[in-house]
Chains A and B, each alone.
Chain A
Amino acid sequence: MCAGVVLLSSPERSLARARTALDAVAIVFAASAIVWHAILLPTYSDSEATALEKVIGGSYPLGDLLLFFGLAIALAHNRRERAGAVMAVLTAGLGLFLLSDLGYAYLGLSGAYSAGSPVDLGWTFGYLLMGYSAALHAEWRPDYAVPRDDLRPPAAWRQAVPLGLAALMFGQLILIGSRASLLEDIPSLILVGIVLVAVLARQAVVLYDNAGLNGALVAAGKMLETKVRERTQELSRLVSILEATTDLVGTLDIEGSPLYLNRAGRRMLGIGENEELTGWNVLDLYPAWAGPTIERRALPGALESGSWQGETAVLAQDGKEIPVSQVILAHRASDGSPQFFSTIARDISERKEFESKLVRLASHDALTDLFNRRRFEEEVERELARVKRFKSQAAVLFVDLDRFKYINDSLGHRTGDELLVQVAHALRGQLRETDVLARLGGDEFGVLLAQSSRADAETAAARVVTAVRDYRMIADGQAVSVTTSVGVAVAPKHGTTVEDLLAHADMAMYQAKENGNGFRLYSRDSVTEAAFSAQLMWEQRIRQALEEDRFVLLVQPIQNLRTGDVQYEALLRMVDKDGKLILPQEFLPVAERTDLIHAIDRWAVHQAIKVIAACEARGQAVHLEVNLSGKAFADEGLLPLIRREIKSTGIAASSLIFEITETAAIANINGARQFIDALKSTGCGFALDDFGVGFSSLYYLKHLPVDYLKIDGSFIRNLPNDVSDQHLVRSMVELAHGLGKQTIAEWVEDEGTLELLRQFGVDYAQGYFLGKPAPIDATLGVLLPDMAKAA
């Protein structure tokens, strides 16, 4: 029984176990001393029982005492509910046993016991309770261990127990001593001695235990201090990252009051670095239109799914709205209750601006801010529907500036652009509010005169011609003037579809230009005649020029922006009889409509190879880009000619780089691909010209094995001032490099543009700023590395 009780009741820690054991010893022996002295001693001294009988009879209640108090002390420890209940029932059983044994010892030894006395009840009920405690255990199987983390100090009364016992024992000694000599009751002296020794030992154990605990406490305190310091450092590192980031980072409590806002966030919202956030609500930081989204969608959404993400705008203190891309996270405690929100918001003003610009670009001309051709055609279509429905009339004017290419070439693209903007302004001044003005491309403008008769249209055309003629623009200190040719077509007489009406207005304009008389109303016969004769005339001139070898190649430097090396593009010009150079735009359209283009392509290639051979003969390596027409793939003789000439002259094939426009390549993608493959197999390079304006699918680009992409000049000339152009050029460079191709930028006209191109990683640059087209002898005869600056 004793073993069972000890096993059930021992606490986990060894020092606590020793303390409990000493407590038990002290209590049991104190009780024994009292029972001995008060009950057994008087009975025994009167009894005639033998010494053995006395020892055995007395051992029953003393054994019970040991068990009962042992268990009672264990129970006094902090036990869990069910373990406590089992032990309480067991203790109660033993308690009844103790009472009966005491009673029997008293009655039995004095001979007063007989079967059926109340003493029997204690034993019987004791057995029943002990059995019941076993049954409880069998059903519940509770855990008797004292929980490890339960290190609460023992209750104060437990500290007082041993001292109380010691006092009690001294009291008994005094009591015994007051009746007789102490030596007459040796057992009492032994029992009292044991109790006092146990109490002293117990206090020693407690002192030792406390010293150990104190040391552990000091060590734990030091460790805690170190940990706190480490965490503080870590936290300040994290905060410094948050403070350094350029995005808004903040936290909100669950009610929506801001708790923290980093430096970037304060700057974005115009809140001072040290300004308190108390009293703010998150909705104060959003414009009125965005508030409901945050309140009803973003915060509940974050709570529901953990995070919310979207585009909205925040409201700065100065009332400015800043578009942001925002993420809101809801943070929960380990029990799942929402704790706080955190958020990151990125300023996307630049992107939003870019997007709205792109949207505008889809229907507007970037330079003049007029409608573009597509939008103009839509407007004409709408007006034509009205004409049909209301049987009214409308007119289209096709306005083309004369000699605009000359202005562009002589005064530069920038002056040309400026002129276009001012002319657009002048035109607008001549039109009614309801008239639609658009830039159709290059130097062509379109005007839609709604609800206008032929007479109205002619009056408007005359006004336009006069207004442009009288207009003067000052550029580089000199007055620039320009004239226009205007073609007029009236619906429904000259056409009922957009295509017809525009084509007829175009033809009328062409005729007006031929005649040099301002404006012209469309008339079928005269226009076809004029166009035909013009075509014939050009054919004649080209044929003659070929026969008389009146073509010439100019070269324009292309600078490698990394190494500074220079290569060249060969530019074709036709030389008029009077020695004037004619630009390819003038004669190539006619040439492409006939077989003359093949002869021109071959001439250019032949000439370029000769130039390279001449340079190489002088020991001068040169890379030359030659333009081929869109019809070159169809010329079956061209490839063999190129191979033959490369072989016969012995030039390095890599010196020769062919250029073809994106539009031409896409028009015949398979032909282009085969042609490019064949040329590349000979070792020549290949460049895709005018990249970006052909509206080609990027899918094609993947399949064209070209080495260079020449970014169209229209993206470059305004680069320093046009953010969307900057985005586009950057994207094109990234795209090209991703595909393993190099980029060349055309129309570079100033230092600012060149600097931007360098930043964007463009590989080559070409333009007036780096060198104008110049005769071959003048250029290649004096190839200098600082050619760019000289030009």
Chain B
Amino acid sequence: MVATTRRLTLLAAAMAAYALLFVSWLALRPFGKTSVEAMSDLGMVVPAAAGAGLAFLAAARSTGRVRAAWFFIAAALASWSFAEMTWSTYELFLGQETPFPSIADV
């Protein structure tokens, strides 16, 4: 129980730290426009992927109907993280405006 509470506190702290980093990065714009774009794109891949991982863990630790529920949520988060990655690829590496509609929208 104590271990559970501690793990959740640590996770919450890590997420809060990330959120703070994200907000201050966008607000302070430390390395100009490109860095803001990079953070805006890649910065969203990380929490989506992490969320997908945690949801898969939740599914793994459950059974039956609840397991299926978390599996679907995990799949959704995974597909979002894939979408964010696709978006980032267009914007940062191909150096072009993300086409709309694109593979990311799928």
Contact = CB atoms under 8 A, between A and B. Distances in A.
A128 B32 CA distance: 26
10 contacts: A3-B69, A4-B71, A4-B72, A7-B69, A8-B69, A116-B39, A127-B47, A131-B52, A131-B53, A134-B58
B47 A131 contact: yes
A134 B40 CA distance: 24
A143 B19 CA distance: 30
B47 A8 contact: no
Nearest to B80: A127
Interface string B36-76: 11011101100110111111011011100110111111111
A299 B75 CA distance: 68
Identify the interface centre among B15, B44, B47: most chain A CB within 10 Å of its CB: B47
B59 to A, nearest CB: 8
A135 interface: yes
B82 interface: no
B77 A130 contact: yes
Contact of A134 (B48, B51, B75): B51
Contact of A141 (B7, B22, B62): B62
Interface string A131-157: 110111111110010000000000000
Nearest to B47: A127
A123 B44 contact: yes
Given A120-B40, A128-B18, A115 B71 contact: no
B99 to A, nearest CB: 10
A127 B44 contact: yes
A7 B58 contact: no
Contacts of A125: 19
Interface in B63-106: 65-66, 68-77, 80, 91, 100-101, 105
A53 interface: yes
Contacts of B18: 128
Contact of B66 (A2, A3, A7, A52): A7
A134 B57 contact: yes
A132 B100 contact: no
Q: How large is the interface on A (under 10, 10 to 19, 20 to 34, 35 or more residues)?
A: 20 to 34
Nearest to B102: A56
A132 B13 CA distance: 11
B54 A131 contact: yes
A116 B80 contact: no
Given A4-B71, A115-B37, A127-B50, 18 more contacts: A1-B73, A3-B72, A4-B72, A57-B100, A116-B36, A120-B43, A124-B43, A124-B44, A127-B80, A128-B18, A128-B19, A128-B47, A131-B51, A132-B12, A132-B54, A138-B61, A139-B8, A141-B61
Contact of A7 (B61, B68, B75, B91): B68
A121 interface: yes
A124 B22 contact: yes
Q: Which 10 A-B pairs give the minimum distances between C-beta atoms?
A: A131-B51, A4-B72, A1-B76, A127-B47, A7-B69, A115-B40, A4-B73, A134-B54, A134-B55, A116-B36
B40 A56 contact: no
A141 B54 CA distance: 13
Contacts of A108: 100
Nearest to A115: B40
A132 B11 contact: yes
B71 to A, nearest CB: 7
A116 B37 contact: yes
A131 B15 contact: yes
Contacts of B26: 116, 120-121
Contact of B77 (A7, A127, A138): A127
A577 to B, nearest CB: 116
Contacts of A141: 61-62
Contacts of B40: 115-116, 120
B47 A53 contact: no
Interface in B11-36: 11-12, 15, 18-19, 22-23, 26, 29, 36
Nearest to A125: B19
A789 B43 CA distance: 127
A5 B68 CA distance: 10
Nearest to A83: B66
A115 to B, nearest CB: 4
B23 A4 contact: no
Contacts of B11: 132, 135
Interface in A26-60: 52-53, 56-57
Contacts of A130: 51, 55, 73, 77
Interface in A4-35: 4-5, 7-8
Identify the interface centre among B11, B12, B51, B77: most chain A CB within 10 Å of its CB: B51
Contacts of A2: 72
B8 A135 contact: yes
Nearest to B8: A139
A95 B16 CA distance: 18
B5 to A, nearest CB: 9
Nearest to A57: B100
Nearest to B12: A132
B58 A135 contact: yes
B51 A127 contact: yes
A3 B67 CA distance: 12
Contact of A136 (B8, B52, B80): B8
A7 B65 contact: yes
Nearest to B71: A4
Contacts of B76: 1, 4
A90 B15 CA distance: 15
Contacts of A135: 7-8, 11, 54, 57-58
Nearest to B81: A127
B77 A124 contact: no
B67 to A, nearest CB: 9
A148 B87 CA distance: 47
B50 A1 contact: no
B27 to A, nearest CB: 9
Contacts of A121: 22-23, 26
Contacts of A127: 44, 47-48, 50-51, 77, 80
Contacts of A7: 65-66, 68-69, 72
Contacts of B55: 130-131, 134
B62 A132 contact: no
Contacts of A138: 54, 57-58, 60-61
A323 B4 CA distance: 67
A115 B91 contact: yes
A24 to B, nearest CB: 16
B32 to A, nearest CB: 11
A125 B57 CA distance: 20
